[in-house]
Structure 1
Amino acid sequence: MRKADEITIQTQNITSLDLMERASTQIFNVLHQRLQGAPIPIHVFCGIGNNGGDGLVISRLLVEHGYHVKTYVVNFSDKRSKNFLINYDRLKEIASEWPTQIKSEEDFPTISPQDMVIDAIFGIGLNRPIVPWVINLIKHINAARSFTLSIDVPSGLYADKAPEDKEGVIYASTTVTFQLPKLVFFLPETGQYSQDLEVIDIGLSREFIAQTPGFADLIGKNEVLSLYRPRHKFAHKGDYGHCLIIGGSYGKIGSVVLATESSLRIGAGLATAYIPECGYEILQTSVPEAMVITDEEDDYISNIDIDFEPTVIGIGIGLGTGEKTINGFESFLKKNKSNLIIDADAINILSKKQELLEYLPPKTILTPHPGELKRLIGDWKDDFDKINRVKEFSKKYDAIVVVKGANSLIIYQDQIYVNTSGNPGMATAGSGDVLTGIITGLSAQGYDPLHAAVFGVYLHGMSGDLVVQSTGYQGLLASDIVAHIGKAYLELFKKPQQIPPQGSQTSS
């Protein structure tokens, strides 16, 4: 982002002060459009760098438009950025009340829950621990529970690591960030500091941004549309692959039901479930479209013996980790020639016997939840360390890893994809089994493994988003996600609703 600023200043023949004015005016426009002159007390906390300079510009514009504004300079150092000083003088020229200097806890202002706070203390350039009294100021602001808007990033949040003091970060009601989203907004440890995110275009060089690789790719509807493979008129089921779902044990056959039906709902031409004998009637009744092969054992899988070569295999859901199951899984891996999607207990077995990882085919997809991931790659210091560890694992074994979470990450070597679909209602039993089936079914249809993982995670989340419109978060079941897979496909091609101009009439 710093480089984008520099290139923009050069190519557009403007100064850094001009760019600050432009960016801050954009944030003011967002505020003004929503507040419409409301007589709300607004507290603007400014640091002494360029993020503070942004805050001073916003304060000046608010004052010029008649808002009730109090501006504070968080005076934690003797250093000032040049643009901060210029905007400090500009604000003093027009404000009836000069900015208040905060130098210690004695200077903390009273903030009411009905007030509004604009946080411009630190930006994305924060790279060192915060002085203790400023941490206490941040805690003081959070304790007020007023609506808080952070500029670019909540103060106290680093761009590339988790904060040392988890309470020493602004909990923003909304963060308005410049030009591009930042990875910290999508990771479990750091995403919690922004309830809502808005990205505003401040006119940075589009050419530079287009030519410069990002740290990660944000995946939404437009991105996955390019992955979609339409069906042709003369297609038959053989064109869309034969997937095999292997898993289940006594009391855990439902996981295979969910995965098998998902693989068919997502479009696989054929699906076979390989399960212990105890699940035969359940599978045949629950998913009549699927074929079923049973193991020689009644309650668990011990010997995976199939007489055909499937297009792709999804394995691990409900599998169990008994000794005979582990031996059967090891034997299967050593002779397998199909592409693999590995989940749940199959990942746990690999964690116990890591020498088996050498038998994974290229671009095997693993879909661990956080506990399974920790068993596989070891503990991590923070989410950034976790990403680096997954990258190392991916490179070593040529594997694609889906790191499941609120914003699931799909990682392949140095490539990171951040998913944007899904909701808290999907934190429910069986949701991961559905994802395994979806990715397996897409792989069966000939999607590249990485595309199958990215597209599958998005469609899985979109299905869940469609479900909660009628069930709410608590009422969502994994089987509901399966039932909405077809609607998720249709949602891809739905045009945004056009809002009629004010004063126009539409027929009912």
Structure 2
Amino acid sequence: MLNFITNEQMRKADEYTIKHLPIRSIDLMEQACNSFVKRITEDISVNEKITVCCGTGNNGGDGLAIARLLRLKGYNNITVIILNIFSSSSPDFIVNKKRLNQLKIPLFEIKKANELPNNLDIVIDAVLGSGFQGTLKEPLAEIIKKINHHAKYIFSVDCPSGLNIDSSKIKKYQGIKADKTISFQRPKLFFMFPESIVSSKSHEFVFIGLNEDFLQSLPSDYFWIEEKDIVGKLKVRQPFSHKGIYGHLLIIGGMSNTMGAAVLCAKSALFTGVGLVTCCVPKENFSTLNISQPEIMTLERENFNEISLNKFNSVAIGPGLGLTQNSKEIVHKILKEKIPVVFDADALNIISEENWLGKIPANSILTPHLKEFDRLFGSSEDWFARLEKARCKAKELQCIIVLKNQYTFTLLTD
């Protein structure tokens, strides 16, 4: 797992790598730009018209190096525009400007928006880095507005210019509206939130050679889970084993008009390795299960009070459960059993409606989407506030909360 880190922590990781690898700052920048170029050349052909817009800090130095590296890979239709509106230039920017001049790539310096060409195809945004804070001032605000208006596609280097990456507050965003942002070494937590769409439609990250041991030692409340983190935890079926030793799951749900939810839940359980799956649904819906997934066993919801939950290794309630009086009685009985349960969908809606939150057994798992979460715990100002609330509620209830969205957050009890 990779820890999400702040911009200040990333700066410290740069310094640590430069000192202990050791490596010069300009060479670390070259590594980062090589990684960026390797990624974007998968998306753009050598015939594309590319404009690299640069500030005069280290992000601008990245842009100059990226332009040079693209030219060396055969991308000949490149123009570099330097925004000569800043009071100083970083040392690495100066070095990369000298290197760029040796290739005779067209380079222009502008101070006003009307000096920017209108016919922009692909733009590489390297104006401001991830350390930006505050609001954009003129003439930069107008220049960025024109880039957004005329560019057909925008790649941002590490962070869209004008975005305060460590803040969750987005009001009247004026920065670059990237089609894709490619960040360095780590995904950025802000891009996990729906609010980020105003600054970047998509987001990826590339490794640039920072010291991973140092990065992993930095404190963080949130971590990025990759496929390789999960694969080793899956229970592999052994030769001569049978379904009876891979757990028995009970799923309670499946009203006639929402039966699909129970079917999908059962199929997912089988796909991820559960040995036996039983669905407790209205008897009239048995045929739906038998047709769609014949290995799923059934129990009649009408006879739920006669079912012993002790015979099951785990219980999930909610997919297609409905909000009927019978559904509420089943949820109430489950809560009284005081055993850990996966609560989903309508089970969560019933818990919030009946104010039964305090009755949820410890070590249960709650799987709300945004609206279900807000019904349970109240509305939030933004997604970061919602995430922080989920983290606190997981500890308070001693339950795991799986907050579902484009990116799903799993909040643990510790």
TM-score (norm 2): 0.83
Task: Answer yes or no: is the 8 Å Cα contact 2:145–2:174 preserved in 1.
Answer: yes
Task: Answer yes or no: is the 8 Å Cα contact 1:184–1:191 preserved in 2.
Answer: no
Correspondence list, 1:98-117, <5 A: 99-102=108-111, 104-107=112-115, 109-113=116-120, 115-117=121-123
Which stretch of the first structure deviates more once superposed, 80-89 or 48-57? Answer: 80-89
Shift of 1:90: 5.7
Shift of 1:397: 1.1
Shift of 1:351: 1.9
In structure 2, do the counterparts of structure 1 residues 131 and 381 end up closer, same or farther at CA, with 3 Å as the change threshold?
A: farther
Shift of 1:245: 1.0
Match of 1:200 among 197, 206, 213: 206
Correspondence list, 1:50-61, <5 A: 50-60=58-68
In structure 2, do the counterparts of structure 1 residues 34 and 323 end up closer, same or farther at CA, with 3 Å as the change threshold?
A: closer
**Quick one: distance in 1 between partners of 2:71 and 2:239?**
64
- State the match for 1:156 in structure 2: 162
**Quick one: distance in 1 between partners of 2:400 and 2:42?**
44
**Quick one: distance in 2 between partners of 1:266 and 1:30?**
32
Shift of 1:347: 0.9
- State the match for 1:220 in structure 2: 226
- State the match for 2:81 in structure 1: 72
Alignment gaps of 5+ in structure 1: 298-302, 415-508
- State the match for 1:45 in structure 2: 53
Shift of 1:370: 2.0
- State the match for 1:138 in structure 2: 144
Task: Answer yes or no: is the 8 Å Cα contact 1:241–1:311 preserved in 2.
Answer: yes
Task: Answer yes or no: is the 8 Å Cα contact 2:119–2:150 preserved in 1.
Answer: yes
Shift of 1:9: 0.8
Task: Answer yes or no: is the 8 Å Cα contact 2:84–2:109 preserved in 1.
Answer: no
Shift of 1:207: 3.0
DSSP-derived class of the 1:55 partner: helix
- State the match for 1:8 in structure 2: 17
**Quick one: distance in 2 between partners of 1:89 and 1:17?**
13
- State the match for 2:185 in structure 1: 179
Match of 2:337 among 335, 338, 341: 335
2:395 matches 1:395: yes
Q: What letter matches 1:350 in structure 2?
A: I
Task: Answer yes or no: is the 8 Å Cα contact 1:60–1:94 preserved in 2.
Answer: yes
Aligned length: 403
In structure 2, do the counterparts of structure 1 residues 126 and 236 end up closer, same or farther at CA, with 3 Å as the change threshold?
A: same
Shift of 1:412: 1.8
2:32 matches 1:23: yes
DSSP-derived class of the 1:124 partner: coil
- State the match for 1:346 in structure 2: 347
Shift of 1:257: 3.1
Shift of 1:67: 3.5
Shift of 1:119: 0.3
- State the match for 1:293 in structure 2: 299
- State the match for 2:93 in structure 1: 84
- State the match for 1:258 in structure 2: 264
Deviations 1:459-503 (A, max 9, x none): xxxxxxxxxxxxxxxxxxxxxxxxxxxxxxxxxxxxxxxxxxxxx
DSSP-derived class of the 1:410 partner: strand
Q: What letter matches 1:112 in structure 2?
A: N
Shift of 1:346: 0.7
**Quick one: distance in 1 between partners of 2:126 and 2:363?**
44
Q: What letter matches 2:328 in structure 1?
A: I
**Quick one: distance in 1 between partners of 2:27 and 2:87?**
25
DSSP-derived class of the 2:183 partner: strand
Correspondence list, 1:319-398, <5 A: 319-337=321-339, 339-354=340-355, 356-398=356-398
DSSP-derived class of the 1:253 partner: helix
Task: Answer yes or no: is the 8 Å Cα contact 1:160–1:384 preserved in 2.
Answer: no
Which stretch of the first structure deviates more once superposed, 274-283 or 315-324? Answer: 274-283
**Quick one: distance in 2 between partners of 1:231 and 1:22?**
43
Shift of 1:314: 0.7
Task: Answer yes or no: is the 8 Å Cα contact 1:157–1:163 preserved in 2.
Answer: no
TM-score (norm 1): 0.69
**Quick one: distance in 2 between partners of 1:119 and 1:203?**
22
**Quick one: distance in 2 between partners of 1:393 and 1:311?**
26
Task: Answer yes or no: is the 8 Å Cα contact 1:351–1:375 preserved in 2.
Answer: yes
**Quick one: distance in 2 between partners of 1:138 and 1:394?**
41
**Quick one: distance in 1 between partners of 2:128 and 2:87?**
15
Shift of 1:399: 1.8
In structure 2, do the counterparts of structure 1 residues 209 and 235 end up closer, same or farther at CA, with 3 Å as the change threshold?
A: same
**Quick one: distance in 1 between partners of 2:325 and 2:372?**
19
Task: Answer yes or no: is the 8 Å Cα contact 2:235–2:273 preserved in 1.
Answer: no
In structure 2, do the counterparts of structure 1 residues 248 and 54 end up closer, same or farther at CA, with 3 Å as the change threshold?
A: same
Deviations 1:346-381 (A, max 9, x none): 111222234x23332333222222221221222222
**Greater RCO between the two (CA within 8 Å, min separation 6)?**
2
Shift of 1:317: 1.5
In structure 2, do the counterparts of structure 1 residues 296 and 94 end up closer, same or farther at CA, with 3 Å as the change threshold?
A: closer
Shift of 1:246: 1.0
Task: Answer yes or no: is the 8 Å Cα contact 2:133–2:164 preserved in 1.
Answer: yes
Q: What letter matches 2:360 in structure 1?
A: L
Correspondence list, 1:123-134, <5 A: 123-131=129-137, 133-134=139-140
